[in-house]
Structure 1
Amino acid sequence: MTNLEVHAPAPVDLEGELASLPGDGARMAPHWAVPDRIAPRPVSPALIHGVSVPLASARLLDAMEDYGD
């Protein structure tokens, strides 16, 4: 059996930590650069197969004003 040790996180000073969040975010932002937006290509309905929708879900969508008749 493996003995897993669980350590409690260090106490957090909320006043100091919350005040430092904007600076922390600004320093981390360059590390998470967002790629240029890539528009998804439409998929032909002929390629969509094997999808099953439960009858209750189909009735729910049918009853919704935006998705119904």
Structure 2
Amino acid sequence: MAKSGMEKGKGKVKEAAGKVTGNRRMEAEGKVDQAKGAAREAAEKTREDADRARDSLKRRTS
């Protein structure tokens, strides 16, 4: 989840910099980066949950 955290952090910095400088494009890019980080985090969590479920089923059948 390190990549997703970095993506979200980068987005927060960009958004803040955009707000301070009045650069609406940079602010929007920051929001997009944050959304990408959240999506990546959700995908990683889903993958981990699927792996746990698969491992649980393997233990039951063994």
Normalised-by-shorter TM-score class: under 0.3
* Bigger share in helix: 2
Which has the higher Rg, Structure 1 or Structure 2?
A: 1
Report which structure shows greater RCO (CA 8 Å, sep ≥6).
2
Q: What TM-score, normalized by structure 1, do the two folds share? A: 0.20
